[in-house]
């Protein structure tokens, strides 16, 4: 098995989860980290046994020590940062959302295609065993025709200085946690809703609490909620004409409860670790096989998710400085 050597760009909070998972993933090694702050980079490297630290993303891009780079910078910097690595011939796994809007995502997709390298949005929920088995349950017709879906991903943050509350950092509930609900709906209802209707409560020009209703040609309706100051259970439901699937936590699904006819069954399918391992395995295998996209989460799906979120933001009146670029 070819070992895939990983670099990390931006050693922030989410990068810690990725690093822990990479250490727990067969066929992947952490080879380097890059940070604008060398002190921060060295501290991160010491924590995870990473030998090489770079003080710029350009140095990491030029390194012959890495095959792929995980981009975990804040939202507004995803595109520019990922382009540095794609143009240097490095494969890229970029933290969600891939970009701030669909236009950026299309440009990044084109950049990856020009350079013949792999690119994927880091939406780890798509690769969880519980999610994939639930999709198989639906495909087998065990709960009949799918006509409804619900998903809530809502936090109650108290620190008002967080990036999530800042417009110039592409803040707001939708891009930070609502993106999970959009992907959840896509996994079970597809990528082409007939209509999208959204309402939100805004503060300081970003959405604090957003509700999205999407309808589909087959009559299905999806209800999706995201929030940053209203804590709610992160439940998900997929409703069919013959039963339903209940996720106690849909975005980090380790199990689901199948209600089919008169029977109820709990299906436990824990992930390999913190949930990122399956995603890393997918990327590594795609790179070994010479693929430039994942068949589970191709770039067309990522673009569709951002097109949906662009429409939601249009309706609720949220825009970002990068939207005009």
Catalogue all structural domains in the chain, each as residue range(s) with its CATH number.
4-122 (3.40.50.720), 129-270 (3.30.360.10)
In this prediction, residues 20-48 reach a mean pLDDT of 96
Predicted local distance difference test score (pLDDT) of residue 157: 77
Phi-psi region for residue 119, left (φ > 0), alpha (ψ -120 to 50) or beta? beta
CA dist 187 and 60 (Å) reads 34
Predicted local distance difference test score (pLDDT) of residue 276: 96
Active-site residue numbers? 96
pLDDT digits (tens, 9 = 90+) for 205-263: 999 999 999 999 999 999 999 999 999 999 999 999 999 999 999 999 999 999 998 89
Q: Hey, how many other C-beta atoms are within 10 angstroms of the C-beta on 83?
A: 19
Burial classification of residue 229, based on how many CB atoms lie within 10 Å of its CB (0-12 exposed, 13-18 middle, 19 or more buried): middle
Predicted local distance difference test score (pLDDT) of residue 162: 79
- Binning pLDDT at 50, 70 and 90, where does residue 160 land? low
In this prediction, residues 84-97 reach a mean pLDDT of 98
Predicted local distance difference test score (pLDDT) of residue 325: 63
Least confident of 28-32, 259-263, 280-284, 295-299: 259-263
pLDDT digits (tens, 9 = 90+) for 183-210: 999 999 999 999 999 999 999 999 999 9
Is the pLDDT at 33 greater than 70, yes or no?
yes
């Amino acid at each position: 098995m070819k070992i895939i050597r990983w670099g990390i760009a931006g050693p922030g909070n989410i990068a810690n989860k990725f690093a822990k998972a990479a250490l727990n993933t067969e066929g992947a090694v952490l080879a380097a980290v890059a940070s604008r702050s060398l002190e921060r980079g060295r501290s991160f490297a010491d924590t995870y046994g990473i030998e090489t630290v770079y003080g710029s993303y350009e140095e990491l891009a030029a390194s012959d020590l890495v095959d792929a780079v995980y981009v975990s910078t804040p939202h507004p910097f995803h595109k520019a940062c990922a382009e540095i690595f794609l143009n240097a011939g490095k494969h890229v796994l970029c933290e969600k959302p891939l970009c701030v809007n669909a236009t950026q995502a299309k440009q990044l997709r084109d950049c990856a295609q020009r350079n013949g390298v792999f690119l994927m949005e880091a939406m780890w929920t798509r690769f969880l065993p519980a999610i994939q088995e639930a999709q198989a349950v639906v495909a087998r017709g065990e709960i009949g025709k799918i006509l409804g879906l619900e998903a809530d991903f809502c936090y109650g943050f108290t620190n008002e200085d967080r990036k999530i509350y800042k417009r110039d950092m592409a803040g707001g509930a939708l891009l930070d946690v609502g993106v999970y609900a959009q992907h959840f709906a896509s996994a079970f209802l597809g990528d082409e809703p007939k209509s999208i209707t959204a309402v939100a409560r805004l503060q300081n020009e970003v959405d604090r609490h957003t509700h999205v209703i999407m309808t589909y040609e087959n009559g299905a309706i999806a209800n999706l909620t995201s929030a940053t100051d209203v804590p709610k259970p992160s439940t998900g439901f997929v409703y069919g004409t013959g039963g339903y699937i209940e996720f106690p936590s849909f975005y980090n699904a380790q199990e689901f409860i199948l209600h089919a006819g008169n029977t109820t069954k709990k299906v436990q399918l824990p992930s390999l670790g913190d949930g990122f391992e399956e995603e890393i395995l997918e990327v590594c295998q795609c790179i070994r096989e010479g693929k430039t996209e994942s068949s589970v989460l191709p770039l067309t799906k990522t673009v569709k998710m951002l097109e949906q979120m662009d429409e939601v933001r249009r309706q609720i009146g949220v825009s970002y400085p990068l939207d005009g670029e």
